[in-house]
Amino acid sequence: MGRFIIEGGNRVSGEVTPSGNKNEALPTLAACLLTEETVVLDNLPRIRDVLVMCEVLRDLGAGVEWTGPNQASITASQVNKSVLDRELCGRVRASVLFAGPVMARLGEVELPPPGGDVIGRRKLDTHFTAFQSLGAQLEVGESYRLHASRLEGAEMFLDEASVTGTENALMAAVLACGTTVIENAACEPHVQGLCRMLESMGARISGIGTNILTVTGVDRLHGTTHRIGPDYLEVGSFIGLAGIMGDGLVIHDVIPRDLRKIRTVFDKLGVGIELSGTDCLVKGGQAPAIRTDLHGVVPQIDDAPWPQFPTDLMSIAIVTATRSKGTVLFFEKMYEGRMFFVDSLISMGASIILCDPHRVVVAGPSNLFGATLRSPDIRAGMALLIACLAASGRSVMHNIEQIDRGYERIDDKLKAIGARIERVEGPA
């Protein structure tokens, strides 16, 4: 078990480049099972969740070779196993993404319950309802068993705009017989990235970037080379850090259209950014102040499916607000456990009221002080790390393996821009 030792209060500046999008990397790895030919993935983040997904691929019989620091070659010509390993699936939530490709490839799949962050209920009903629409039969026990002698295209309306549910439905539909229409589909950048990869493999998909996807099934898919897009959640994390502790930070390799709502929210928190091509500049010396609504009304920041503000950046925005002048209400609508990390911020000196599992009020600016903390999940862990970097004094953060699941070499990137952070391995 590792931990971070952080000396807070140091300003950050310089340049940083985000890694590939974790939430695009995971479904594209699963999609490699849809062809017997080789698929090469570029800009693949070498993070814990990706490494576990690669282990699952190998366990199913696929060959996985790292051909560069962030490039992998996957060949699934020998896949003949439809039962997923229980221990491996328990280590990563995204293991559910193998259900669609394995069933499309072999006609059946047995999926143990997936693992993942404890941030609230994350139901799987949307996935299985989609599979049943395509003609699959479901048995529920200690594992989920799906069988389909033949998948048939269908019209379906997802009961929620689930990202992984949409991705699973897509991966099952591309090899189904006939046309599939997926309404209320998720349209996040990583869903679009998966669609573009599937198209490059020979799939026929229209409506990419909208909430209605039409898939015309094909007989087979072929190999391809696909580049994972930049992680806009990592970009948002660096924007939050630079807004409260920055002396000028340039974030390279961003996609401006992915930052539209993110930019709006940070502007409301008093953090201004400038976009130039694929560069994002967070100017130094900012004194963030909450921008009130008309007539001085306390503003509200809430999350919602894309293109609204992503739930995975709520914790980063809350930490940013602790250092901004003014009061703001945060309304987390998607997960009932995501807000509980604010207890750690309160222990560091933040002025926060937890109204209920979904809402917090933050009044700032607060002087934060170093503390000994544990990372509860990927996103809250990164948010608390930013709080430690902004705090006065020394902090120790345990359970950093959670952060490593979603952020590649985050300590090295932070040190390169002036943060004082050290990784210590072994027991405390």
User: Catalytic residue positions?
Assistant: 117
Closest of 34, 32, 108, 71 to residue 228, by C-alpha: 71
Tracing tokens 């693949």 back to the chain, one arrives at 44
What does R_g of the chain's alpha carbons equal in angstroms?
22
Residues 421, 415: contact at Cβ < 8 Å?
yes
Separation of alpha carbons 51 and 261, rounded Å: 31
Residue 345, phi then psi, degrees to nearest 5: -65, -40
Q: Which two tokens stand for residue 202?
A: 């020979």
In angstroms, the CA 369 to CA 401 distance is 23
Q: Encoding tokens for residue 367?
A: 């002087």
- Which ranges constitute the DSSP H helices of 209-284? 232-245, 260-268
User: Between vectors from CA 393 to CA 390 and to CA 394, what angle results, nearest 5°?
Assistant: 100
Rounded Cα–Cα distance for residues 11 and 248 (Å): 9
Q: Which long-range contacts (CB under 8 A, 24 or more apart) does 218-223 make?
A: 218/174, 218/175, 219/175, 220/35, 220/175, 221/34, 221/35, 221/174, 221/175, 222/35, 222/37, 223/35, 223/37, 223/38, 223/39, 223/40
Residues in contact with 42: Cβ distance below 8 Å, sequence separation at least 6, in sequence order = 70, 71, 225, 226, 227, 228
